[in-house]
């Protein structure tokens, strides 16, 4: 029996056999620590009733662990040079399908209908290419698919922003964009030494699960995120200053904004990082009702 793909020895052997020249531009850092892979699959609570979508299988280290526990695995890999490698390393796992595609261009609902017919519980588990973490996450959360969970590895600093609470430095527009859609929890961190080649950042696993329904919805999603972006435009300035940059300093506008803040019991001097998602939604809606 061959050792796991993820062992450092086998990872190096595979890279040598296929003459794999790592593409930094595609964020290729191969996880080569079987224990960490087990912990990722555990965090995702993958069982044989789950189908799993993986982004960027690389040489198949995580794919292999997923294939052993899931019903089926559907993995999207952009790099053509890795296709023959994956065909070999994953040959023992008939429940794996590899699709050569850019994940940012994949219609996930159609891909699931095509490759995972009859799927009832679909989870995403991936060690993401870090250069496109945010667009991939947004694509997954905005897809017309209700994922049971999304468990992904990313740069530690980004993981901290995703799971930040109000009032902290890491809390910002990205935190709120995720919080609007799913509940984020930082599961555990991973040292850069667990990868071949070593990246120059540490990593962390974030688990996203369906969030409790919002008590108040924004009248318009784009308006909510326009407001959030504007309120964090100058992080060190007050909410009041950012609102004036966003909506203007006309006396009538300022009067309405002041009245709205007063209504919501918000001190004009507070900073945006103090405001929760519910706070931003309320602010968006109350300003809109008053014609701002
Ligand atoms: N899953 C492997 C592991 O854990 O060792 C590899 C992870 S590596 C950090 C990221 C992988 O994503 C690479 O295999 C890379 O080629 C692939 N990738 C990069 N951009 C991609 C894209 N736009 N669509 C699909 N895969 C992509």
Model pLDDT, residue 130:
96
Whether this model's pTM surpasses 0.90: yes
78 has pLDDT over 90:
yes
85's tokens: 């490698």
Please give the number of the atom of ligand 1 that sits closest to the Cα of 59. Answer: 2
Q: What percent of the chain stands above pLDDT 70?
A: 100
Q: Of 24, 37, 78, 105, which is best to mutate to test ligand 1, by the most ligand atoms within 8 angstroms of its C-beta? A: 78
Rounded distance, CA 61 to CA 122, Å? Answer: 20
Q: With bands split at pLDDT 50, 70 and 90, how would you rate the model's confidence at 2? A: confident
25 has pLDDT over 90:
yes
Q: What is the pLDDT of residues 145-179, one digit of tens each?
A: 999 999 999 999 999 999 999 999 999 999 999 99
Rounded distance, CA 256 to CA 289, Å? Answer: 10
**In terms of Cα–Cα distance, which of 208, 203, 193, 35 is closest to 125?**
208
Handedness of CA 160, 166, 167, 172 (dihedral sign): positive
Q: Which residues line ligand 1 (CB under 6 A)?
A: 26-31, 55-58, 61-62, 76-79, 102-104, 127, 129, 132
Distance between alpha carbon 7 and the CA centroid of its chain, in Å? 26
Closest protein CA for atom 21 of ligand 1: 78
Q: What percent of the chain stands above pLDDT 90?
A: 99
Distance in Å, CA 173 to ligand 1 centroid = 26
Q: What is the pLDDT of residues 230-279, one digit of tens each?
A: 999 999 999 999 999 999 999 999 999 999 999 999 999 999 999 999 99
Distance in Å, CA 86 to ligand 1 centroid = 12
ipTM above 0.85, yes or no: yes
Model pLDDT, residue 1:
76
């Amino acid at each position: 029996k061959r050792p796991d793909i993820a062992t450092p020895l086998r990872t190096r052997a595979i890279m040598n056999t296929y003459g794999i020249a790592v593409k930094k531009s595609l964020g290729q850092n191969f996880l080569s620590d079987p224990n960490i892979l087990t912990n990722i699959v555990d965090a995702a609570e993958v069982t044989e009733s789950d189908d799993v979508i993986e982004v960027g299988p690389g040489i198949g280290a995580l794919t292999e662990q997923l294939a052993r526990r899931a019903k089926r695995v559907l993995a999207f890999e952009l790099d053509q040079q890795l296709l023959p490698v994956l065909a070999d390393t994953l040959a023992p796992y008939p429940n794996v399908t590899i699709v050569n595609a850019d994940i940012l261009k994949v219609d996930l609902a159609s891909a699931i209908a095509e490759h995972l017919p009859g799927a009832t519980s679909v989870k995403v588990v991936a060690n993401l290419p870090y250069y496109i973490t945010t667009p991939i996450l947004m694509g997954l959360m905005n897809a017309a698919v209700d994922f049971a969970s999304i468990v992904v590895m990313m740069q530690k600093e980004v993981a901290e922003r995703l799971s930040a609470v109000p009032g902290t430095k890491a809390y910002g527009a990205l935190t709120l964009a995720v919080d609007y859609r799913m509940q984020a929890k930082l599961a555990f961190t991973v040292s850069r030494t667990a990868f071949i080649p070593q990246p120059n950042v540490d990593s962390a696993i974030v688990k996203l699960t369906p969030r409790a329904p919002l008590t108040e919805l924004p009248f318009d999603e784009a308006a909510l995120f326009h407001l959030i972006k504007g309120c964090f435009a100058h992080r060190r300035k007050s909410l009041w200053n950012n609102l004036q940059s966003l909506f203007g300093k006309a006396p009538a506008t300022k009067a309405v904004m002041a009245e709205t803040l007063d209504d919501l019991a918000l001190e004009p001097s507070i900073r945006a990082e103090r405001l929760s998602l519910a706070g931003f939604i309320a602010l968006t809606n109350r300003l809109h009702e008053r014609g701002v």
